[in-house]
Structure 1
Amino acid sequence: MAARRPARGRRVGHGRRRGVRIAPLRAVVIPPIPSTEPLLALLEGVLDGRESAILPVPSDVRSAELLTSSLGIGEDIDDDVAVVVSTSGTTGVPKGAMLTARALIASASATHDRLSGPGTWLLALSAHHVAGLQVLVRSILAGTVPVAVNPSFELDELPAAIAELGSGPRYASLVAVQLAKALGDPAATAALAELDAVMIGGGPLPATIGEAASAAGIRVVRTYGMSETAGGCVYDGVPLDGVKVRLDDGRVVLGGETLAKGYRNPTVPDPFSESGWFRTDDVGAVDDSGVLRILGRIDDAIGTGGLTVLPQVVEAALATHPAIADCAVFGVTDGRLGQRVTAAVVLTAGAEAPTVADLRTHVARTLDSTAAPREVHVVTELPRRGIGKLDRKELADRFDTGA
Structure 2
Amino acid sequence: MEPHTIRWGIISTGGIATTFSKDLLVDPATRGVTEVAHKIAAVGSRSIPSAQAFIDKLKAAPGVSSWGVESGALDDAKAYGSYDEVYADPNVDVVYIGTPHPFHHQNAKAALLAGKNVLCEKPFVMDLAELDELIAIAKENKVFLMEAVWTRFQPIAYAVQEALRSGKLGRPRRVIAEMSSFARIDERSDDDRIINPQLGGGALLDLAPYSAVWSMLALHQHPENTDTEPRVLDFSQRIYKRNGVDEMSAFTVKWEGLGEARLLTDLAAWPARDNACVIDCEKGQLIIDHPLYRPERFRIVPHPNAVAGSSESEDITEETEFRFPNTTGNGMQYEADHVALCLRDGKLESDRMPLAESRVVQGWFDTVRKGGDSALKDWRHTAGK
Question: Which structure has greater helix proportion?
Answer: 2
TM-score, L = length of structure 2: 0.32
Higher strand share: 1
Q: TM-score, length-normalised on structure 1?
A: 0.31
**Larger relative CO (CA 8 A, sep 6+): 1 or 2?**
2
